[in-house]
A and B are shown apart, each in its own frame.
Chain A
């Protein structure tokens, strides 16, 4: 079994199942903070999916996109927590 077959038929389905589980929490999360945490984890799973996909297609330039994904995840979490705190204060 080559490593491409292993990645395509075993690793990628497990990553898809975990993305689905996180998406359930993203939909039913009782508060806004649950949704922010689920979004952060969803982007982290996206980074690892991009890394696996770069190995399957043998094109390592996909890694730049995953670096930008990591940046966006951090900025999104910081902005959401900042405005979450501000919103309560102004009400």
Chain B
């Protein structure tokens, strides 16, 4: 029974890692690539490590596997967010079929702060004046 669960977990984890690899090769855009690889690879590694902990079935190995899984689950989104933010500010182009870019013209190009205070308020003021 335990063996069958180990087989299933490791095969599914390897399948997810293969899907992540195909995704990073085939996706048209940096941000889509980040979106594919972070989720699929984290799930795949988590499944493989869980299968390995079930295969050995000892306390010390299970503790190490849980430590690695928790560390990956904590750091993968942070790393993806950091690299996505930095490459958006540097000017990596979006896919040409992208429909919307919510951050466009909403940040300061020099110090990279979200700059909704001055420009947004000016726009709202002009709108108010036009309506009144």
Contacts and interface: CB of A to CB of B under 8 A. Distances in A.
Contacts of B85: 81, 85
Interface in B9-25: 10-11, 13-15, 17-18, 20-22, 24-25
B129 to A, nearest CB: 36
A85 B14 contact: no
Given A11-B10, A63-B61, A81-B83, A70 B68 contact: yes
Size band of the interface chain B makes with A: 35 or more
B30 interface: yes
Q: Which of A36, A45, A81 has the most CB of B within 10 A?
A: A81
Given A3-B6, A3-B7, A33-B86, A40 B79 contact: yes
Interface centre among A11, A18, A67, A70 (most CB of B within 10 A): A18
B128 interface: no
21 contacts: A7-B10, A18-B18, A25-B24, A33-B90, A34-B33, A37-B24, A37-B37, A40-B79, A48-B13, A48-B44, A51-B52, A52-B52, A55-B56, A64-B64, A66-B68, A74-B75, A77-B82, A81-B83, A82-B86, A87-B90, A88-B89
Given A3-B55, A78-B79, 13 more contacts: A3-B6, A25-B24, A31-B30, A31-B87, A31-B92, A37-B24, A63-B61, A63-B64, A67-B64, A70-B71, A74-B79, A77-B79, A89-B112
